[in-house]
Each structure stands twice: as C-alpha cells, then as structure tokens.
Structure 1
C-alpha cells in the first residue's frame, strides 16, 4: 500500500489525520493512478492514409508501373499469362516493378483451379522449396496461391539473379499490379529472408489490386515477424474485380473452401474516400463490405484506375466523418473506426447482406474487439529489450558475489560449499536470470532464421555473459547433490547460447584476436563440470576398486583433461580464480600430482610445478 505513496512523494506525516481520511485519500489516489494507467485507444487509420497519399511513395510506385505498362506491347489476350519485371531509378530510390502480360483477369484465376491454394507440404513434394523458410515451429505449414507460385517458379532463375544484385540496395521499393503484386510480395519475402536481423533498413513492398496470396498459416507466420509484416502495403479499390473474387466469399464456385487471409497494411479506397487498416480480420471484413460496389463482370481491370484514385485523393484534405457520427455515444477508438468505415463508403445497406453483422454499429463493435485484441497481442509479444536492464541488475548481484568470494576460494566453490543468506539471494537472482534467458532462447528458436540470428549483438553478448556466470553455479548445485556427468543433462538453452556464439564467430562477426591476459569469466562455462569429473576419476584411481580397463580409461580421461586445461591457459581463456588455493581445481591438482608421481612430466605439470600459474594470475 505504501509503495504507491512513496512513488507519489507522499509520507505519513503529510496525510490528513484519522485513519478514515487517510484511507479515503489513498483510495482517491489509487483510483486516479489506475485511471491514468488505462491508456486511451485511438484509431489512426485516416492519419496514416493521409500521410501515404500526400507523400510521393505511392505515386512514384504507381508511376513506375504505369510507365512499364506503356512500354509493354499488348499481347494476344488468349496467350499464356506471364509476369515481367523492370528496374527503374526514381527520386525515392530503386524500384522493381512487376506486371502481367496480358493483363490478368478474374477468369484466369478461376480457370482450372488457379485460384486454389497449394500447401507447403505439396510444394515440397513438387521440389519447390523456395519459401520453406516461412515455416516456424508455431506455424509449420502454410498455403500459397497456386497461380502466383506457378508464375514465380517460371521466373525463379531471373529473380535469383535479381535478389543477388539488388537485395542489399537501399532504399528499395518492390511494387506490382494485380497478379504482378503477388510476385512482388513473394519476391519481397524472399529478400527479407536473406537480410540480417541487425539490418534496420529493409525493402518495402507496395502492391496495387493484388490478390490475396495465402492462408491463415502464412498470415500468422508473417505476423510473428513484425519487421516483415510492416514491410508490406497493399492498395485496394472497391472497383477491383479481383479483390471481389478473393474477399467476397469463403468458398469458390465449386464449393471449395478458399481460406485466403491478408497480412501487412491495407489502404482501402472507394469512390467516397479511403483509410488504412492493419488488423487482418478487420481488413477482410471491410473488403467484403465494400466489394458490393465493385465491378462484377470479372473483366480486366483498367490498368490505370489506381493512378486516377491516387491523383483524386492526393490533394484532398480529410475533414469529413465527424458530423456523421451523429448522436452516438462512442469512445475515441469507436469514433475513429466509424469514420474509417464511413470513409470507404461502408453503409448499413451493404452490411445487410451479412446476417452476422446486421448494421454498421455491429461491424464497428467487431472491429473494436479485434483491434483491442491486436493491441494486447502486440503488448504481449516477447520483447527482450523490456527486461534486459533488469537482468543487468541481477547480473550485478552475481558479479558482486563473485568478487566477495575470491578470498574464500572463488565463487564456484563458495556457492557449492557454504550456505548463507547471501547465497539464498544469489539463488533467487540466478533463478530470475535463468527464467529470462530460457524464454529468450525459446522465442529465438521459434524464428525461422538460422539459429541465433534473432539475437542482436547486445542480447547475444548478454546471453554469453549470463551463461559464463550462471552455468558454473548450476554445475556447483549439480555436483553438490552427488550427481555425475553434468554434460549429459545440460540444459538446452545453454547449448544453444553457446552454439550461436560459435556461429557468430564463424561468420566473422566477432574478433578472433588472441588474448594476452586472463579473462574474468572462464570462456567455457562447462569448465567446472570437467574439473568435477576429473576429481571423480582421481578418486576412482586412488581407491583402486575398479578393473584395469576402467583404470586405463580414467587415466586417458585425465590426460585429455590436462590438454584441455593447457589449451585454455595458452589462450588466456580461463579465469585466474581456478588457481586460488581453496579452489576445486587446485584440490584436483594435488590429488593428480600424487597419483602421477614426481617422475611424470607434461605441459601442465611443468606449468603447475614451477608455479608459472602465479604469473598467469
């Protein structure tokens, strides 16, 4: 209770006298704080749409498509559909545009089941593995529009060259119209897969009148990568027959479930206005709602209608909608959603065709719930930055404990042998750190990129420090209980953290320069497990209760351990703490020296017997 007063700078002597007055003031402050913590939600779809339409991004993208169409000869409408691309330079950067020839029609997508989705498993069976990287552990399967896959496959060699030549150029805009928008989308996904997560600059994909290209599995897999999802902007008109084909019904003409789902941001346009929508389910509902305005003949879309749309709205200033809210008692979020829906001409008469919605108010209510769910999901997305500073505080406790333990044999042996209230605090901090990094590793492992790429430098560095500091304490607890062979039961999150560091080194991302002084934390976090096993081997040899074969095996293990220690010493990769008088390593050395006898010589015996280790320390 008093923590709230402390945060507000209040003390007991500043409160009104009397317990009732104090309680009332506390309740009032608590209610006010709770109210302040409840963030008011708004819908910014109109502002985003205004920003996009007033910028040059959409206009230059469409101009590139328009110019490409003008330069492309009109093919025979009966000839097979193909997709072409062009690379152009513009004031906003490099633009790669995709169009179809001849212009794609709704009939083409409906012929011979071209509008059907094909699963990733089927594509694997057909040896088309380009997009298998999309799969995640959470969403292992997905489906793509068959027509788009077929056209992409026909261009794969050319697109592979394009990916190599232009994949790292920034700024890069990939754009496409109609079925060309599908290829633009797939090509952008292919580009994103090759980009390091450390790269903050990514290509942008802008499509015009593009069919939806995937199912729920694809939608969710893309949504798991916020940086990918934010790279896509789709412009869609209510007059677009292809939009109507994919959004109007959950089944095609043969009664087969289509299951198309959008991803990315959508700029929906109608004759009366426009608005942006980011939440996929709301986008689909609104595409259905405005599709009744569309052209229903399924004929080819006029190639330049999007140019007219952009031109019409660029100079417009949005100041409509508020008066049309009327006397409704709406929250800021509901008001924004209402104005957005009204802005693209969603009317009650159109919604009457949807018995589940009934009227615009019920649609707004549905959109409000979906929007709140989306915000909640975004807040709950695992963000390692949120608690990284807290973890640094916990690591500071362990570093303090490590320094304090030096006079008593080092933090490994103090933690293993001495019970204290300080140790209890360290156990608590260790538990918090482990919970955090186990979750970190689990989330990173879900990502489709090669192991560990999810970890940016500071998190991989933090994970390495955590592993080298905390795993020895886990090893101490393990052997304190009389267990053997820690490595056989080692936690997977330690293994992965170690693997990702090695992968990062092999990719040239860390310096391989030799050290010239001892490191503060032994680089191999399993060092003390090897020490404990070597002590067990010495005990077995000293007791003489094993067979000759076992004795020989134990001697071989000890020689391997000798070589392992000297390798670390030569690299200055081991902490000076191992040479403290009371440490387990020095206890092992005394046992080993006695077992081997004075006549035995090796690199380690020379290093230890001549006290060279004191110079190392």
Structure 2
C-alpha cells in the first residue's frame, strides 16, 4: 500500500496511519473503556493502542489559567532541561487521565507483551485522546528506550491539543525521541489551538463545543464564531510574542508586556503534518514554525467569513478519517524541513493560507535553527582549546603528586607552575561559562545536552578543574563572605556538567567526588564541633570509591595532604 515519507529519514506505512486514525475515532464510541487495543491485520509487526477524547471541560483544564503543572519526574525523569534543572510543564488534566490509564494493570501487561513479542507499538488518539497518546508514548520511551532490543514506538495524533511546554520539546529532541511523534492537523481545526487560550476566556463556549462534538448535529453552536475568534486572538498573542523572540527583538516593551499579560506555556512537539484542505499534506518539524502556522493558518481574510470558517473549524475536527483516506491514496507529503532551501515553499505556504508576514516568521524560525547549528560549530571549535588546557593541568597534577599533592600545591600557589595552572583554570572557566550562558539563552541546538562528546568532556573538566576552584575559593577566604562553597560558591558550569553525566548514566543525584575538597575544608573549619569525627569517617569511606571512579586522585592520600592531616587531628589516620 506504500509509505509516507517524513523528514529526511522517516517513513510510515499508509496502512498504519489509516488504522491509527480509524482506531482513534472508534475509541470515542467506547468512552467507558480507557483504551482500545488491536493488531494491524495485514501486518504482524505493529500493534495499536488508541485513547478516547473527553467531552468534559474538567478533563481539558484542571485549575489555573492554563491548567498546567510541573512534570512528575517519577514517571517522566527526562522531561527537564538537564543542566539548568528546569522542569517541563504538562497539562494537568491530561496527565491525570493518563495516570488513570497507567493504573490499569492490563494496560502495562499488554504493552509489555507487545515489547516482548518484538512488535512496534503505535499509540494514537483523536482530540484530547491524542494528548493521552503523547503522554503514553513518553512513558513508553522512559521505560523501554534503554533496552538492548528496543523498537522505537510511534505516536500518531489527529487534531490533538497541545500537551506540554517548550522544555518538553527540548527534552524530546535531546533524547532523540521527537521523531516518534507525528501530529496530523486539519488546517482550520480549532482544537489544536485551544491550549493557547486561558480557561476563563473560553470555558462556557468550550463546553458547548464539546457537546457539539458529542451529538454531532448539523447545526453548529450559535457562539461558535465568538469561540473561534477568542481562540485565534489568544493564539495571536502567543505567536506574536514568540515571533519577536525568534527575531531577536530587544524592545523593552516586549518584556514589560509579558510580565503582566499571561501567555499560554504550551508549545508544539514532534512533527506536524498539516492537511491543507486542497488534498495536500505539508510537514513541519520546527516547533517555532509550527506555532506560527497554527496561528496564521487560522486567520480570517475578511470579517464576513467568520461564521463559515468557525463552522468549518468544528466540522474539520471530525473529518480526519475521510480526509486522510482521500489524501493517502497517492501519499505525497511536502516537507518544509529546510525552509530556506525549498523551491516551492511559497506555493505550500499559500495552500496553508499563510500571509507574507507568516512566511517571514517561518523563515525566521528556520534561520534561528540554522544559527543554533552555527553556534554549535563555534563551540565545537573550542574543544581543542579545552583539551589543551586540560592536558596542561593533567601534567601539572602529575608533577604535584611528587610534592604536597594537586590540591594543596595549588592552594599554596608559591611556584611558577601554580601560576600557569591558574591561567589554564581561568581560561577554561571563560569557555565553559560562555557555553552555559548560551544554553541558558537557548542559543545551542536542543540536542546539545545529550551529546556524548560534551558529556565526557564536561565530566573530565569538572574532575580536573573543580578542585582548583575550591582551593582558590578557600585560599582567598571567600567562604567568610559567601559561605560554604557547596552553598552559593559552586559555579553553575560544574553543576551543569555534573547533571549531564548523572542524567546520561541514570545516576542518582549525590555529593560529587569533585567537591571532596570543599567538604574537607568545611570539616577543618568546624573541627571542634560535635559530629565532625563521624563526618570525617563517612568521608574517608567514600574516598576509596571516588578514587576507583576517578572522581578524585589518589594524591588525596599523600602523607602531608590536608585530608590526611585532618584525619590525624582526630586520631583517624592509619
């Protein structure tokens, strides 16, 4: 039957899309069931789980202006901005519905059996059922992505509302999961835009719209035009603010306005396939560009067409199965993968009803992604400088092992070699601080934090250089003004690189060996305090483990090191 090619290296069987859409619509007929499960008859390799949408406003918004909540890291440990420790936010009502599905032991058992049988698992849903499918796919990836026999799942949604914020999208791209999510959206379908509105502005109208979807009468709600206008107006606020940020606006009014105008946190994730209404399918995988399309493709050309467009926006939401059945007879998807390279991009944008301003916003979103890649190349070019400085410090450390040790020698800083080591320390601090600031400003690709070469280099940097920063901190008595190093003294560059490794290797958050000397210094300061001896014993027990893991060097055990002198002072040296 053929396949649908998406992006540069992804293909989906047409029969899988059709089956998923059919089951997504069928799930609405069985609202008492949490999900439906079926195999694709012509294939032995895929199984499909579909989730029904809800027709109650309470299942769309759970309190608050936009009904969002911080992710539950027990279920979704990857949905965060790792180094900066920012948690993603998801729709609370959708999350609660997914948790109810997960509480059903039969669901987990059927998913596990599909995994054990080496089948490709497809999660699908229409309307808010698509939101549940998205969360189910993330859960599946969290549980199974590290299995040696892991088969990538697929999430196909049809007219789904937005589920999570920008951090969720960043996390999915970092984990290389974003390609698992494909969202089909009819050009005028209003539902994918609903999450961009605060509940108070649409609550009563939304319930009447949901009732319309349930009864599916010929007559659309009388206030459908007002509902459509309100949703599009809210989408306009979000899209225009995002466009200003994309284009690098420095107008202070932008930040002033955002401080008192509450905007929706929700953003697109994965790949979007827009159904133009002219028989074409247009694919966009740039989340910033998708947001602009969601707004601009819903704009009215004239005030007079508001009633007709509002009616179409509701009817289209119920028409995915019929529309895709026609489109997929000769499945051709136009990909706006690289907007600056596409020859027929203007024609495709016209099919989506996009204005010249919309085209500028989409090109700006594409330009921003390309700029991030150039920034990555610039940062990659600094690897040699980092490696050189680290090599110099490793040679310095080797020389110090014949003296008082790496830490104590640097803290004394009475030799020429110590001065050169400090220069390397400062040079590295400048490079790494710049990298962390670029991450903070979202100037690097979303995948950066998950790149193995930078995780390894960051770990090596932290282990070699952080002891020197600690020595410098206590040598200059910064603790007397700022407090302990581990309180407010530890630079973000070390916290970030530590978190990268912990996340990549699924390690628990704990006191890092590279901060060993900070603990030693604090124990010296409170030498006469109660419990100090026990703390030294605990630290002594950790040292052997840290030496084995190369978190600290064995020079900490040199006869005259600060650590050994501390033990002797408390009668603990062997």
Q: TM-score, normalised by structure 1?
A: 0.57
Q: Indicate conservation of the 8 Å contact 1:475/1:528, yes or no.
A: yes
Q: What do residues 241-262 of structure 1 show as CA deviations (whole Å, max 9, x unaligned)?
A: 8669889999664666565753
Q: TM-score, normalised by structure 2?
A: 0.60
Supply the distance in 2 between the matched residues of 1:460 and 1:394 (Cα, whole angstroms).
Answer: 17
TM-fit CA distance, 1:399: 0.7
Q: How does 1:44-83 map to 2 (within 5 A)?
A: 51=6, 57-65=12-20, 68=23
TM-fit CA distance, 1:191: 2.6
Higher-RCO chain (CA-CA 8 Å, sequence separation at least 6):
2
Q: Indicate conservation of the 8 Å contact 1:337/1:367, yes or no.
A: no
Q: Indicate conservation of the 8 Å contact 1:530/1:561, yes or no.
A: no
Matched, 1:298 2:315: yes
Equivalent residue for 2:165, pick from 207, 211, 218: 218
TM-fit CA distance, 1:310: 0.8
Report what 1:181 is aligned to: 130
Report what 1:95 is aligned to: 47
Q: Indicate conservation of the 8 Å contact 1:118/1:143, yes or no.
A: no
**Alignment CA distance shift 1:224-1:384 (3 Å):** farther
CA RMSD of aligned residues (A): 5.8
Report what 2:274 is aligned to: 268
Q: How does 1:525-540 map to 2 (within 5 A)?
A: 525-526=514-515, 528=517
Q: How does 1:302-451 map to 2 (within 5 A)?
A: 303-314=321-332, 333=341, 335-342=343-350, 345-346=351-352, 360-377=355-372, 390-419=385-414, 422-434=417-429
Report what 1:450 is aligned to: none
Q: What do residues 465-500 of structure 1 show as CA deviations (whole Å, max 9, x unaligned)?
A: 434322332333244335779992234455787788
Supply the distance in 1 between the matched residues of 2:545 and 2:362 (Cα, whole angstroms).
Answer: 64
Supply the distance in 1 between the matched residues of 2:340 and 2:389 (Cα, whole angstroms).
Answer: 41
TM-fit CA distance, 1:340: 2.2
Supply the distance in 1 between the matched residues of 2:17 and 2:395 (Cα, whole angstroms).
Answer: 61
**Alignment CA distance shift 1:579-1:154 (3 Å):** closer
Q: What are structure 1's unaligned runs of at least 5 residues?
A: 1-47, 322-330, 352-359, 448-453, 510-522, 539-549, 597-601, 606-617
Matched, 1:86 2:37: yes
Q: Indicate conservation of the 8 Å contact 2:78/2:171, yes or no.
A: no
Q: Indicate conservation of the 8 Å contact 1:61/1:206, yes or no.
A: no
Q: Indicate conservation of the 8 Å contact 1:467/1:497, yes or no.
A: yes
Q: What do residues 384-419 of structure 1 show as CA deviations (whole Å, max 9, x unaligned)?
A: 977556433321110111223344443334323344
Q: Indicate conservation of the 8 Å contact 2:160/2:183, yes or no.
A: no
**Alignment CA distance shift 1:506-1:575 (3 Å):** same
Q: What are structure 2's unaligned runs of at least 5 residues?
A: 206-222, 236-265, 301-307, 443-448
**Alignment CA distance shift 1:487-1:310 (3 Å):** same
Supply the distance in 1 between the matched residues of 2:152 and 2:387 (Cα, whole angstroms).
Answer: 34
Aligned residue pairs, count: 475
Q: Indicate conservation of the 8 Å contact 1:241/1:298, yes or no.
A: no
TM-fit CA distance, 1:430: 1.5
Q: Indicate conservation of the 8 Å contact 2:125/2:133, yes or no.
A: yes
Q: Indicate conservation of the 8 Å contact 2:4/2:12, yes or no.
A: no
Structure 1 residue matching 2:160: 3-state secondary structure:
coil
